[in-house]
Chains A and B, each alone.
Chain A
Amino acid sequence: MATLKELVLRESPITGGHRACAGCGFPQIIRIVLMAAKDPVVVIAATGCLEVTTTIYPYSAWNVPFLHNAFENAAATASGVEAAYEALLRKGKLKGKINVVAFGGDGGTYDIGFQSLSGAMERGHNLLYVCYNNEGYMNTGVQRSGATPRGASTTTEPAGKVRQGKVRPRKDLTAIMAAHDLPYVAQASVGYYMDLLKKAEKAFSIEGPKFLNVLQPCRLGWPYKPELTFELGRLAVQTAIWPLYEVENGKWKLTMKPREKKPITEFMKHQDRFRHLFRPGNEELLADLQTEVDRNWQTLLEKCLPAGQAGGEGGSK
């Protein structure tokens, strides 16, 4: 794995001066993921913050080839780029290895782009899909998505007098992608950049379809103080709200186990989207959310146990 010292000497795939918010997490994701590649990359992006803030014509923040098509089709578009690469390579019109990398937000990945992603992954294209997951439609003004956690207030499922934000839990997209039987699926978070780097390096070393789901704190949509981005990315992991793990050829493995699992409120208390949960009367809901996180964490730990050690209460009595 590249050291931090080596990493800072590599050419950045994007320039400064792009228009992402101060404290935005995705420029880190772009840089860490793409700088992990030994060979040239081409980038395909879904409509969203990342595309909007880096490519306002006639300016572009990209030092590498970049294609934006539409909102829901980054994976399908990337599959076309990959097919073209394979065809042109075979016909001798191209030389050398090129990595095809697609980026989509959680809206473009969990929701509107879900079919396109599932199809491209099932077909087995040699590409890496990275979801920069800020748990909502932040580009259009903080609407709920399938990645928005239960209890979070968004502009389309707000907390009010009788409702306490999102009613349903988010879907577990990383597990859904693992169910596609891909050679490599992993969950990462902005706060743990060396973990992300390692996962991206591993993804680039593997042939076939790869999926990374990277939690990206959004200072606009979660609102919090911009300087807390890394801290929140780390707290999400330390509370087990967003565990770091990978699934390599069907084998589940934790890549970071918190020394001490913190209560979820440690993560939530910094963010306005959860503020209503701390009001009197919501104690039960908050406890419920903690139970839900604990249960999911336990399930994940069981999946990550070496073979033969899983079982628990459902096992032989």
Chain B
Amino acid sequence: MPTAAKTGNEAMAEAMRQINPDVVAAYPITPATEIVMIFASFVADGLVDTEYIPVESEHSAMSACVGASAAGARVMTGTSSQGLALMYEILPIASALRLPIIMSDVNRALSGPINIHCDHSDTMAARDFGWIQIFSENAQEAYDNLIQAVRIAEHPKVKLPTMVTTDGFIISHCLEKIEILEDAQAKQFVGERKAEVSLLDVEHPVTLGALDLPDYYFEHKLQVAEAMRQASQHILEIAKEFEQQTGRKYDLIENYKLDDAEIAIVALGSTAGTTKAVVDELRSKGVKAGLLKIRVFRPFPAEALAKALANVAAVAVLDRADSYSAQGGPVYTEISSALYGKTKAPKLINYVYGLGGRDVTIDDIRGVFSDLQKIDKMPTFNYFGVRE
């Protein structure tokens, strides 16, 4: 398999070139701009057949994606932070219409104050819009996840829009050696979109986006919820097929040295990589440390997670976003909920960290593991890396 040095943004743009979508509508925003810039150069050089719409805002980007996807096209976009926030209104319309739009989202802190660096506040605020959400630890995963996202979103039992995220600058701008599928192999893997209904099928006119009053709205939302429940098994099937092609294994979660772990961290995105280094270090000193990385945040892999954490004594959940609920970050509350009522469950504490691109160091993670060794003395809600 060919290898290349790619940043996260370049890796995602490369995946988009191979996917060769029918329509891309996007608007520039740091740190996701490069994805669109690189893709625009593919269009300019005739390397893709895509109809590229350089819209005047992210709201129009998502609106155009909805129009194009309803018309039966395979559609992609990319954004970050404020751009994603500007799309929020249209995101649940995309899922309600069951449009398999695929998005690269480069995680960046939401304003205010304005900030261009990584945290997960943009993606977490979009968690309840009926979109599948897949986090990436590095550029390789960003590439692999985006290729798989096409199949996941368009799966006939799923038909849900899907976003694949990377951490702003940490992954988006960091150069890594990655393996890339041959173009023909990628093309074969993603196949062609087969839309069940299309607005452009003038022989069979359909009305889409009708007014749904109290007598039907609920049933339609239930269908989105059911599709999300079904999605997990299809995400796994597609991962299996991807593994057969590439040898790279994907699951809803990744357990790193977790089987016999006594203390563990739960993390998403690039922090998982930092944590793996500390786990290795602690293991060499005889400390039974482990990591649970969440790859798929929507649908939330509650069962897999509860099972994986059942035998761990103490767990720290790292949240790179605060939900301002005064009850911990969004990942923490999801995990608490997943563990509720289980006879075997770890003690759980929460850290909000890394907001607005605050650096996450090896020492920070060492500190969390050290806290876990005295979990009985720890408060439930904690921060690290912040001046209090």
Which residues of A are in contact with B by a Cβ distance under 8 Å? 40-42, 44, 51-52, 55-58, 60, 62-70, 72-73, 76-88, 90-91, 93-94, 98, 115-116, 118-120, 122-123
Residues of B near A79 (CB, < 8 A) are: 25, 53, 55, 60, 64, 67
Q: Is the pair A83, B66 in contact by a Cβ cutoff of 8 Å?
A: no
CB <8 Å contact, B209 and A76: no
B207 and A98 form a contact (CB under 8 A): no
- 12 CB < 8 A contacts A-B: A57-B216, A66-B208, A67-B70, A76-B60, A77-B64, A79-B60, A80-B64, A83-B67, A87-B49, A88-B73, A116-B60, A120-B60
Q: Known interface pairs A67-B199, A88-B22. Does A72 touch B64 (Cβ–Cβ under 8 Å)?
A: no
Using CB atoms, name the residue of chain A closest to B208: A67
Is the pair B55, A60 in contact by a Cβ cutoff of 8 Å? no
Residues of A with C-beta under 8 A to B67: 44, 67, 69, 76-84
Q: Is the CB of A98 within 8 A of B200?
A: yes
User: A84 vs B55: C-alpha distance in the bound complex, in angstroms?
Assistant: 15
Once the chains are docked, how many angstroms separate the CA of A60 from the CA of B212?
12
Q: Contact: A84 with B200, CB < 8 Å? A: yes
Chain A residues with Cβ under 8 A from B72's Cβ?
84, 88, 93
Among A63, A83, A88, A115, point to the contact of B57 (Cβ < 8 A).
A115
Whole-angstrom distance between the alpha carbons of A120 and B90 in the complex? Answer: 17
B23 contacts A87, C-beta separation under 8 Å: yes
Beyond the given pairs A64-B205, A116-B59, A123-B53, 17 more chain A to chain B contacts, judged by CB atoms under 8 angstroms and listed by A's residue number, are A55-B209, A55-B210, A57-B210, A66-B206, A69-B66, A70-B90, A79-B67, A80-B70, A83-B51, A91-B22, A93-B72, A94-B200, A116-B56, A116-B63, A122-B56, A123-B55, A123-B56
**Residue B303 lies at the interface, judged by CB distance under 8 Å to chain A:** no
Q: Let me know if B200 and A87 touch, CB within 8 A.
A: no
**Per a CB cutoff under 8 Å, which of B90, B206, B213 touches A56?**
B213
Report which B residues bind A (CB closer than 8 A).
Answer: 22-23, 25, 49-51, 53-57, 59-61, 63-73, 75, 89-90, 93, 199-202, 205-213, 216
Contacts of A40 in B (CB 8 A): 202
Q: Which residues of B contact A64 (CB under 8 A)?
A: 202, 205
- A73-B59, A80-B25, A85-B200 as given contacts; A68 in contact with B209, CB under 8 Å: yes
Q: Which residues of B contact A91 (CB under 8 A)?
A: 22, 49
In the complex, are the beta carbons of B53 and A83 less than 8 A apart?
yes
Is the pair A73, B23 in contact by a Cβ cutoff of 8 Å?
no
Question: Assuming A57-B216, A63-B205, A88-B22, is B200 touching A81 (CB within 8 A)?
Answer: yes
Count chain B CB atoms within 10 A of each CB in A40, A62, A70 and give the residue with the most. Answer: A70
Are the C-beta atoms of B210 and A83 separated by less than 8 Å?
no
Query: When chains A and B are docked, how far (Å) is the Cα of A310 from the Cα of B116?
Result: 53
Cβ–Cβ contact A80 & B66, under 8 A: yes
Q: How far is the CA of A56 from the CA of B202 in the complex (A)?
A: 21
Q: Are A73 and B211 in contact (CB under 8 A)?
A: no
Inter-chain CA distance A60–B205, complex, in Å, is: 11
A57-B216, A80-B64, A94-B200 known; A87 and B205 CB under 8 Å? no
Question: A87 contacts which chain B residues (CB < 8 A)?
Answer: 22-23, 49-51, 68, 73
On chain A, the residues within 8 Å of B66 by CB distance are 69, 77, 80
A115 to B57, CA, bound (A): 9
Q: Which of B25, B206, B211 contacts A83 (CB 8 A)?
A: B25
| Nearest B residue to A52, CB-CB | B211
Contact in complex: A88, B90 (CB < 8 Å): no
B90 touches A73 (CB 8 A): yes
CA distance A316 to B223 in the complex (A): 71
Enumerate chain A residues within 8 angstroms of B50, measured Cβ to Cβ: 87
Is the beta-carbon distance between B59 and A81 smaller than 8 angstroms? no
Residues of B within 8 A of A72 (CB): 59
B202:A67 contact, CB within 8 angstroms: no
* Complex: chain B residue closest to A69, CB-CB: B66
Question: Which B residues are in CB contact (< 8 Å) with A42?
Answer: 71, 199-200, 202
CB distance from A203 to the nearest CB of B (A): 19
Interface pair B54/A65, CB less than 8 Å apart: no
Residue pair A88, B89 in contact (C-beta under 8 Å) = no
The answer on a CB contact under 8 Å between B73 and A84 is yes
Contacts of B207 in A (CB 8 A): 55, 60, 62, 65-66
Q: Are B23 and A84 in contact (CB under 8 A)?
A: yes
The answer on a CB contact under 8 Å between A69 and B209 is yes
Tell me which residues across on chain A come within 8 A of B216, comparing CB atoms.
57-58
The answer for the CA separation of A86 and B56 in the assembled complex, in Å, is 20
The residue on B at minimum CB distance from A74 is B63
Identify the closest chain A residue to B220 (Cβ). Answer: A57
A122, B60: Cα distance in complex, Å: 13
A88 touches B200 (CB 8 A): yes
Tell me how far the C-beta of A207 lies from the nearest C-beta in chain B, rounded to whole angstroms: 16
B342 to chain A, nearest CB (A): 41
CA A316 to CA B169, docked complex, whole Å: 62
Chain A residue nearest in CB terms to B60: A76
Contact call B211/A84, Cβ cutoff below 8 A: no
Residues of chain A lying within 8 A (CB to CB) of residue B75: 80, 84
Q: How far is the CA of A67 from the CA of B25 in the complex (A)?
A: 18
Q: In the complex, what distance in Å separates the CA atom of A70 from the CA atom of B49?
A: 29
- The CA-CA distance from A80 to B51 in the complex, in Å, is 9
CA distance A82 to B73 in the complex (A): 11
Nearest CB of A to B206, in Å: 6
What is the CB-to-nearest-CB distance from B154 to chain A, in angstroms, rounded to a whole number? 15
Q: In whole angstroms, how far apart are the Cα atoms of A171 and B47 in the complex?
A: 44
Residue of B nearest to A77 (CB): B67
Q: Which partner residue on chain B sits nearest A90 by CB separation?
A: B49
Could you tell me the distance in whole angstroms from the C-beta of A14 to the nearest C-beta in chain B? 11
For the complex, give the distance between the alpha carbons of A82 and B75 in Å: 13
